[in-house]
């Protein structure tokens, strides 16, 4: 799966070819939530692309504030719009899904950030890689600390599996959100059959 940032999303280009009512639709981001074994998860879509996923805050107001800081588009609650990705996430938590069919919009990220996020997206279910591997894969072998910062600010965790990136010692490190986040990372790896004892 490859995630590519676009200067102008294809669905937005299509809007300009059609009626004005479609422009309004394309300028709207849909979001919803799901109850997961890790707590409430919020997810946002811009058309067919996932643009945000948050499971560390568990706070709708905070999620919307962070989302609003990243986009000028209007945001609307729509469980129907996010139902397909919610279904895939629930299947993942039950161990029935190893890959997601949704792509992610990484526009707004630098080339380096996009390369790091794409490298993380290539890590197979149930496997781990180091931050050094991530930097090498992103064609910046000495930038493993910078790659770690990209992972700490991953806009779509789980779908871009930053939890599969571990320290060179084989332990958990570099996960945003403090101790609770390390616990979340460990639980996600356990869902995938990875035990870091």
Q: How many CB atoms lie within 10 A of CB 152?
A: 13
Q: Is 181 helix (H, G, I), strand (E, B) or coil?
A: helix
Q: Which of 15, 26, 104, 162 is catalytic?
A: 162
* φ/ψ (deg, to 5) at 71: -145, 155
User: Catalytic: 15?
Assistant: no
What CA–CA distances, in Å, run from 173 to 101, 153, 169, 195?
Answer: 28, 14, 10, 15
Query: Which residues form the catalytic set?
Result: 162
């Amino acid at each position: 799966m490859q995630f590519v940032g676009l200067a102008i999303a294809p669905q937005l280009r299509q809007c300009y070819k059609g009626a004005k009512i479609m422009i309004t639709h394309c300028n709207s981001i849909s979001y919803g939530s799901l109850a997961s074994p890790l707590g409430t998860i919020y997810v946002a879509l811009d058309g067919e692309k996932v643009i945000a996923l948050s499971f560390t805050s568990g706070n709708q107001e905070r999620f919307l504030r962070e989302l609003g800081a990243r986009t000028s588009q209007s945001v609307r609650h729509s469980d129907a719009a996010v139902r397909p990705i919610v279904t895939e996430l629930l299947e993942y938590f039950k161990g029935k899904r190893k890959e997601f069919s949704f792509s992610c919009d990484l526009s707004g990220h630098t080339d380096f950030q996009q390369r790091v996020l794409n490298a993380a997206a290539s890590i197979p279910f149930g496997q781990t890689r180091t931050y050094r591997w991530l930097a090498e894969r992103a064609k910046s072998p000495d930038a493993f600390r910078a790659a770690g910062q990209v992972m700490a600010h991953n806009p779509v965790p789980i779908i871009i599996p930053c939890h599969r990136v571990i320290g060179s010692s084989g332990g958990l490190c570099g996960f945003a959100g403090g101790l609770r986040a390390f616990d979340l990372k460990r639980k996600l790896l356990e869902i995938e059959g990875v035990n870091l004892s």
